[in-house]
Structures are given as structure tokens and as C-alpha cells.
């Protein structure tokens, strides 16, 4: 949050000194969303700001989002109550970019772009997000760190977004919990065809695990490779909330409306394979008790939202 404010002040100050070379664009969005699916169901509103600064062949992108809403289901758990949170990121890279395609990193992306043929950006960055859930699921209030890559040419953008709750100094600012929405990876392509029509599509993987019970010896036989690996026992009451979603997604955006769909498989076999590799390779023992004998399930999620935007055109 402090980094976002500092960058904003820096851009405003330097713009008065280098008005011939520095270009700054702002985008502001207000969104209202309905989300329906077999794992998450919610109503949500959010306010999002994106700032892009370009000086010669160096560009910065920074985004800040605040959101709130009412939950009916979260992480497979039925619940009723309000939630809120924030999301912030900062990227730097090369290119003559003063486009607003960094908006594709927001959840439920609304693609803000401009019809300029010479736009390009090759950059990477970091961010973090935090969500505060209703009391009965508040154990899963987590801060997730984010690593971001964005490569764009004109109004086309290729994005990589990795989220995890691990912490690496002050650069990757996860909470270090190793449970809940512990990790995800999405790779996407977006294209703004004109100022009124855009679309995006991609693939993703997201993992969720219950809370481990530190008071018990990690000798759970499930996913232990016949007792050769240490495996956590879990805390009640949410012991059966594991999921590993491997999915494809896509969406389209018009002038004031957007809709998106995710479809895939919820496979505990995939979850066990991915997390076991990480825990066994990097010494993050014990494992989690993924039920690898469980049948795969359908994962589906649809969302629709309406929005209003305001943006500069430097």
C-alpha cells in the first residue's frame, strides 16, 4: 500500500519536471458483480485504480483495488456474511507503454486499453492481496503474495500471475500460513479489439487446504506413501475442504458489461501431486492428507458484472 502511494507521489512530482518525456495515465473503475459456482457464490462491489507512468523507454504500472460484498459460499463452505479486502501490485519494465492493459491483473478484469499501434511493454513485478471473511470462515483470512509477468504489443497482452502465501523477505509478501488458498497460477491472453469490445482467455491451477493441527504428531496415514512421509492431522470443523482446480477460463468485455466463465476439474490427485512435489523437494514437511482415491469433480464458476470507468488519454 505504501509503495503504491509513494509511486503516485513520485509520478506527480516528476511529471512537472519532465513534461516532454514523462507520460502518465490513470484509470478508475467501479464494479458490481454476481458470482455463481459450485465452490464460490457471492455479490461484490469494488473500486479499482490503475496508474501507468512512462519515461523514455522505461514504464511502471501500479494497481490498487478495494472490494467488499456478501458471501453465500466460499471455498466449498456454505456461509453467510460480509467480506472485504484489498489488492495492490506494481510492475516495471521496458517499452513505450502508457496503455492501461495492466488492468488485466485485477480480479474480474476489465480491460482498459487505447487504440495506439506503437504500444508495447515487457515487464515483471510483485503485489499482494488480503481478504477478510465472515467469522465462521475467518481462519482463512490470508495475505497472498503475487509475482507478475506482462508482455504486451499494441492492444494484446500475455500475462502470468503466480499467487502464494509463502514469504520471502519484503519482496514476496505472503503470510507464511501454508493453508487455505495456498497457491495458484494463471496464464492468460487478452486482446482489445476496439474501445468497446475486448476478450481474454487462459488456463489456471489453484490449490486449497484446510488448517493443519500443530498439537498432534504428524503421523496421518493418508497420503503418507505407506508411512514413509510425515502427514498433518487437520483442525475441525473444515477438514474436507481440499480442492485443486485445473481449469480454462475466458471472458468478454463491452462498454459497461462483462461476463466470465471458468470450467475445469477439481482433482485431489492433482493437488497431492503438486503439493507433495513442493513439500518433499523444498523441505516443507509434513505433507497434507490429500485423499488421492477420491473421484475428480467438475469445477465451474460464472460471473457477470457491470462497471463504470474513467481514464485519462495522455
Q: Bigger pLDDT: 310 or 30?
A: 30
Burial 226-257 (b: 16+ CB within 10 A, else e): eeebebbbbbeebeebbbbbbbebebbbeeee
State the total domains in the chain: 1
pLDDT tens, 47-103? 999 888 888 888 888 999 999 999 999 999 999 999 999 999 999 999 877 667 677
Cell (9 digits) for 127: 503485489
pLDDT band at 13 (very low <50, low <70, confident <90, very high): very low
Dist. CA 279–CA 277, nearest whole Å: 6
Predicted pLDDT at 171: 76
Q: Which domain holds residue 232?
A: 2-16+25-311
pTM, two decimals, is: 0.87
- Please say whether the beta carbons of 187 and 202 come within 8 A: yes
- Please say whether the beta carbons of 125 and 148 come within 8 A: yes
Q: Bigger pLDDT: 74 or 3?
A: 74
Question: Smallest Cα–Cα separation from 4: which of 84, 66, 63?
Answer: 63
Q: How many CA atoms lie within 13 A of 206 on its CB side?
A: 19
Q: Which of 68-72, 104-108, 243-247 has the lowest mean pLDDT?
A: 104-108
The enclosing domain of 70 has a CATH number of 2.40.160
Question: Smallest Cα–Cα separation from 242: which of 266, 223, 273?
Answer: 266
Dist. CA 114–CA 313, nearest whole Å: 8
Give me the residues paired with residue 199 across strands.
191, 252
3-state secondary structure the chain: CHHHHHHHHHHHHHHHHCCCCEEEEEEEEEEEEEEEECCCEEEEEEEEEEEEEEECCEEEEEEEEEEEEEEEEECCEEEEEEEEEEEEEEEEEECCCCCEHHHHHCCCCCCECCCCCCCEEEEEEEEEEEEECCHHHHHHCCEEEEEEEEEEECCEEEEEEEEECCEECCCEECCCCCCEEEEEEEEEEEEEEECCEEEEEEEEEEEEECCECCCCCCECCCCCCCCCCCECCECCCCCCCCEEEEEEEEEEECCCEEEEEEEEEECHHHHHHHHHHHHHHCCCCCECCCCCCCCCEEEEEEEEEEEEEEECCC
Dist. CA 155–CA 115, nearest whole Å: 7
Would you mind telling me the total number of residues written for the chain in this entry?
Answer: 314
Average pLDDT, the chain: 86
Amino acid at each position: 500500500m505504501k509503495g503504491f502511494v509513494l509511486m503516485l507521489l513520485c509520478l506527480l512530482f516528476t511529471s512537472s519536471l519532465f513534461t516532454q518525456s514523462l507520460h502518465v495515465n490513470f484509470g478508475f473503475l467501479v464494479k458490481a458483480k454476481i458470482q455463481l459456482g459450485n465452490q464460490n457464490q457471492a455479490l461484490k462491489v469494488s473500486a479499482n485504480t490503475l496508474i501507468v507512468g512512462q519515461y523514455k523507454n522505461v514504464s511502471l504500472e501500479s494497481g490498487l483495488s478495494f472490494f467488499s460484498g456478501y458471501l453465500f459460499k466460499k471455498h466449498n463452505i456454505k456461509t453467510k456474511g460480509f467480506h472485504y479486502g484489498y489488492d495492490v501490485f506494481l510492475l516495471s519494465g521496458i517499452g513505450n507503454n502508457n496503455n492501461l492493459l495492466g488492468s488485466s491483473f485485477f480480479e474480474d478484469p476489465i480491460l482498459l486499453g487505447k487504440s495506439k499501434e506503437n504500444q508495447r511493454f515487457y515487464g515483471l513485478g510483485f503485489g499482494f492481496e488480503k481478504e477478510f471473511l465472515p467469522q465462521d470462515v475467518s481462519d482463512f483470512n490470508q495475505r497472498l503474495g503475487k509475482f507478475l509477468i506482462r508482455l504486451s504489443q499494441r492492444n494484446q497482452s500475455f500475462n502470468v500471475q503466480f499467487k502464494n502465501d509463502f514469504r520471502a523477505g519484503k519482496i514476496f509478501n505472503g503470510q507464511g500460513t501454508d493453508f487455505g488458498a495456498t497457491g495458484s497460477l494463471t496464464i492468460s491472453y487478452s486482446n482489445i479489439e476496439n474501445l468497446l469490445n475486448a476478450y481474454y482467455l487462459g488456463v489456471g491451477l489453484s490449490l486449497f487446504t484446510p488448517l493443519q493441527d500443530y498439537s498432534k504428531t504428524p503421523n496421518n496415514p493418508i497420503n503418507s506413501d505407506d508411512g514413509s512421509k510425515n502427514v498433518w492431522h487437520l483442525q475441525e470443523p473444515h477438514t474436507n475442504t481440499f480442492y485443486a482446480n485445473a481449469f480454462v477460463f475466458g471472458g468478454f468485455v463491452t462498454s459497461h458489461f462483462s461476463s466470465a466463465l471458468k470450467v475445469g476439474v477439481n482433482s485431489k490427485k492433482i493437488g497431492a501431486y503438486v503439493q507433495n512435489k513442493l513439500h518433499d523437494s523444498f523441505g516443507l514437511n509434513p505433507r497434507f492428507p490429500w485423499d488421492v482415491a477420491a473421484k475428480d469433480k467438475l469445477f465451474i464458476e460464472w460471473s457477470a458484472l457491470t462497471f463504470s470507468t474513467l481514464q485519462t488519454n495522455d
